[in-house]
């Protein structure tokens, strides 16, 4: 899957660190995140996008995995951050991110969140409804600012991914519809507002996409819109944001399309579209989340119970589950795993890995072959960097795992494990 994974003396190493040692040192369940993989992904974004095309900017969709250290790492590489709540803005700023590099999304931003974003000087606000425009205009007047705004559009394309992570179709809570009357109302609202610096349009068609069809279809729609608003309102689009959604490998058999597969044809279309519309080339922004962090993470669990139901299946219980990885229960997501202390052995026993929550749906991996799994073995589940730590919960009062960063053989604690005291700390 990635060359940061290796096997030495029968044990699984990740970014040069023995994962069985990490499990012993920090305990399990444990999120392990490879800095080398993150940096490699960012280097690819630079080579295949930022340095290749002038007038581009990349932001990391921090909702995928937002820790202070991750924000610092991304910001130190010159990237911005996509944020979706005041909490994410707060953490990004605490980490030292430059507010002007933040892109603020959300279909239901609250008045307090908008005020905080404007006060802090967030670089771009992606507006999702007219109510937001009215609030931004008055905040701009109050703070004496001209607020950079883009509209998120609903392109109405069908993306080939799980329906819960598909966001671009017409019946969506995200984005503005493009019917002519609605479009006119939205354009009038921004063009009439002296405190709004309207820049252009954004789309995000969905997540974990392995083909570029919906990105390209959405871009065609966006380019039509660019021509229409030029003709109808004389507005020359200056900026477009293509969202994220670039797919990664969860299973060794998953396709790995890469970044250029998505970027190249889109950049070509943009260049042609703007040239033929007689508008100067716009700033182009992408905002990948999963593509940067997904394969950079793995989760270590200790195997506890082993239960054979003759003729039916064998369950392996682990010390985590849907509280640290909700994705199998929520999206039927599939994961690959191996036993870290028996890493060179071939699987010989078909099992189903179950989490420890009081919930029948708390199954991490259905039907995987592992080498004679036994209580006490360390299970390593791959590609858990995105939307695992970020979506973790305390269901059943289970403390959330620690995060350890690894890099070329060294490791350090980045987020400490929650304690039982943390679990009741907010209760009065
Ligand atoms: N930009 C916008 C406006 C988004 O809504 C998202 C993700 C991204 C960028 C980043 O998408 P990515 O590159 O990570 O695919 N919890 C789900 C994924 C939800 C994605 C939400 N929006 C999951 O675990 O699959």
DSSP for 265-277, please give it. Answer: HHHHHHHHHHHHH
For residue 73, being part of any structural domain is answered with: yes
Residue 207 alpha carbon to ligand 1 centre in Å: 5
β-partners of residue 283 are 239
Q: Confidence band (pLDDT; 50, 70, 90) for 372?
A: very high
For residue 428, being part of any structural domain is answered with: no
Q: Which range marks the domain in which residue 328 is found?
A: 5-34+295-423
Report yes or no: 294 and 386 within 8 Å, Cβ to Cβ.
yes
Query: Could you give the CA distance from residue 316 to residue 339 in angstroms, rounded to a whole number?
Result: 12
**Collapsed DSSP state (helix, strand, coil) of residue 143:** helix
- 411 and 338 in a single domain? The answer is yes
The total number of structural domains in the chain stands at: 2
Residue 64 alpha carbon to ligand 1 centre in Å: 7
CATH (domain of 394): 2.40.37.10
Query: Could you give the CA distance from residue 139 to residue 190 in angstroms, rounded to a whole number?
Result: 14
Taking residues 277-289, report their average pLDDT.
Answer: 98
Q: Confidence band (pLDDT; 50, 70, 90) for 381?
A: very high
Catalytic residue among 358, 424, 425, 428: 358
Name the average pLDDT for the chain.
96
- 278 and 312 in a single domain? The answer is no
Cβ within 8 Å of residue 250, ≥6 positions away: 294, 333, 334, 335, 336, 382, 383
Query: Given a cut of 90, is residue 19 above it in pLDDT?
Result: yes
Alpha helices per DSSP H over 111-244: 111-120, 130-143, 180-191, 213-233
Query: Given a cut of 90, is residue 153 above it in pLDDT?
Result: yes
CA distances from 404 to 1, 35, 59, 250, 385 (A): 20, 10, 23, 21, 12
Per-residue confidence (pLDDT) for residue 157, from 0 to 100? 85
Residue 245 alpha carbon to ligand 1 centre in Å: 6
Report yes or no: 287 and 276 within 8 Å, Cβ to Cβ.
no
For residue 353, being part of any structural domain is answered with: yes
For residue 92, being part of any structural domain is answered with: yes
Residue 128: CB within 6 Å of ligand 1?
no
Last residue of a domain, one of 274, 293, 312: 293
pLDDT, tens only, 112-150: 999 999 999 999 999 999 999 999 999 999 999 999 999
- 129 and 46 in a single domain? The answer is yes
Query: Given a cut of 80, is residue 159 above it in pLDDT?
Result: no
DSSP for 396-411, please give it. Answer: GGPPPPEEEEEETTEE
Burial (CB < 10 A; 0-12, 13-18, 19+), residue 199, is: buried
Residue 287 alpha carbon to ligand 1 centre in Å: 9
Residue 289: CB within 6 Å of ligand 1?
yes
Q: What is the DSSP letter of 206?
A: B
Lowest mean pLDDT among 168-172, 184-188, 205-209, 257-261: 168-172
- 105 and 9 in a single domain? The answer is no
Residue 45: CB within 6 Å of ligand 1?
no
Q: What percent of the chain has pLDDT over 70?
A: 97
Residue 243: CB within 6 Å of ligand 1?
yes
- 202 and 311 in a single domain? The answer is no
Residue 328: CB within 6 Å of ligand 1?
no
> Which two tokens mark 119?
């006060």
Last residue of a domain, one of 249, 271, 293: 293
Taking residues 255-267, report their average pLDDT.
Answer: 97
For residue 331, being part of any structural domain is answered with: yes
Query: Could you give the CA distance from residue 386 to residue 290 in angstroms, rounded to a whole number?
Result: 5
pLDDT, tens only, 223-254: 999 999 999 999 999 999 999 999 999 999 99
Per-residue confidence (pLDDT) for residue 171, from 0 to 100? 82
For residue 110, being part of any structural domain is answered with: yes
For residue 284, being part of any structural domain is answered with: yes
- 24 and 107 in a single domain? The answer is no
Closest CA to 344 of 74, 61, 9: 9
Sheet holding 5-8, edge to edge: 5-8, 11-14, 17-18
Per-residue confidence (pLDDT) for residue 156, from 0 to 100? 84
Last residue of a domain, one of 276, 293, 310: 293
Query: Given a cut of 60, is residue 333 above it in pLDDT?
Result: yes
Residue nearest to atom 1 of ligand 1 (CA): 243
Q: Count the neighbouring beta carbons within 10 Å of the beta carbon of residue 332.
A: 10
- 197 and 130 in a single domain? The answer is yes
The β-bridge relationship of strands 402-407 and 410-415 is antiparallel
> Which two tokens mark 1?
């899957």
Q: Confidence band (pLDDT; 50, 70, 90) for 74?
A: very high
- 376 and 322 in a single domain? The answer is yes
Query: Could you give the CA distance from residue 50 to residue 43 in angstroms, rounded to a whole number?
Result: 10
Beta strands (DSSP E) in 35-174 are: 56-61, 80-83, 102-104, 124-127, 147-152
- 259 and 305 in a single domain? The answer is no
Burial (CB < 10 A; 0-12, 13-18, 19+), residue 428, is: exposed
Per-residue confidence (pLDDT) for residue 294, from 0 to 100? 98
DSSP for 174-204, please give it. Answer: SSB---HHHHHHHHHHHHT-TTEEEEEEE--
For residue 358, indicate whether it is catalytic.
yes
Cβ within 8 Å of residue 147, ≥6 positions away: 118, 125, 136, 139, 140, 195, 196, 197
Per-residue confidence (pLDDT) for residue 2, from 0 to 100? 65
Report yes or no: 341 and 373 within 8 Å, Cβ to Cβ.
no
For residue 57, being part of any structural domain is answered with: yes
Report yes or no: 376 and 302 within 8 Å, Cβ to Cβ.
yes
């Amino acid at each position: 899957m990635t060359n940061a994974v290796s096997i030495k003396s029968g044990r699984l190493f990740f970014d040069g660190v023995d994962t069985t040692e990490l499990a012993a040192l920090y305990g399990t369940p444990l999120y392990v995140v490879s800095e080398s993989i993150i940096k490699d992904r960012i280097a690819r974004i630079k080579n295949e996008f930022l340095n290749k095309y002038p007038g581009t900017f990349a932001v990391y969709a921090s909702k995928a995995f937002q820790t202070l250290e991750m924000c610092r790492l991304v910001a130190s590489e010159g990237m911005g951050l996509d944020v979706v709540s005041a909490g994410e803005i707060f953490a990004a700023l605490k980490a030292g991110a430059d507010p002007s590099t933040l892109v603020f999304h959300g279909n239901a931003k609250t008045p307090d969140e908008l005020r905080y974003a404007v006060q802090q000087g967030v670089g771009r606000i992606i507006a999702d409804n007219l109510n937001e425009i009215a609030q931004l205009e008055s905040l701009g007047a109050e703070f004496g600012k001209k607020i950079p705004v883009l509209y998120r559009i609903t392109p109405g394309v069908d993306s080939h991914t799980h329906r819960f992570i598909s966001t671009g179709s017409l019946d969506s809570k995200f984005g503005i519809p493009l019917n002519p009357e609605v479009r006119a109302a939205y354009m009038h609202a921004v063009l009439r507002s002296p405190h709004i610096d309207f820049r252009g349009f954004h789309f995000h068609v969905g997540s974990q996409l392995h083909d570029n069809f919906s990105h390209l279809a959405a871009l065609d729609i966006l380019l039509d819109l660019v021509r229409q608003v030029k003709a109808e309102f004389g507005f020359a689009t200056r900026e477009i944001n293509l969202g994220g959604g670039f797919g990664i490998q969860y299973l060794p058999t998953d396709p790995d399309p890469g970044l250029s597969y998505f970027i190249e044809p889109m950049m070509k279309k943009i260049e042609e579209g703007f040239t033929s519309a007689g508008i100067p080339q716009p700033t182009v922004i992408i905002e990948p989340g999963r593509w940067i962090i997904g394969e950079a993470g793995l989760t270590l669990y200790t195997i506890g119970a082993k239960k054979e139901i003759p003729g039916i299946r064998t369950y392996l219980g682990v010390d985590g589950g849907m509280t640290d990885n909700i994705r199998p229960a929520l999206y039927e997501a599939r994961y690959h795993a191996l036993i870290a202390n028996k890493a060179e052995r071939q699987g010989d026993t078909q099992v189903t890995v179950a989490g420890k929550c009081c919930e029948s749906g708390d199954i991490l991996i259905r039907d995987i072959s592992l080498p004679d799994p036994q209580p006490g073995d360390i299970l390593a589940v791959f590609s858990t960097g995105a939307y695992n730590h970020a979506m973790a919960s305390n269901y059943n009062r289970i403390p959330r795992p620690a995060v350890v960063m690894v890099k070329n053989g060294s490791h350090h604690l980045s987020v400490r494990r929650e304690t039982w005291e943390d679990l009741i700390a907010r209760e009065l």
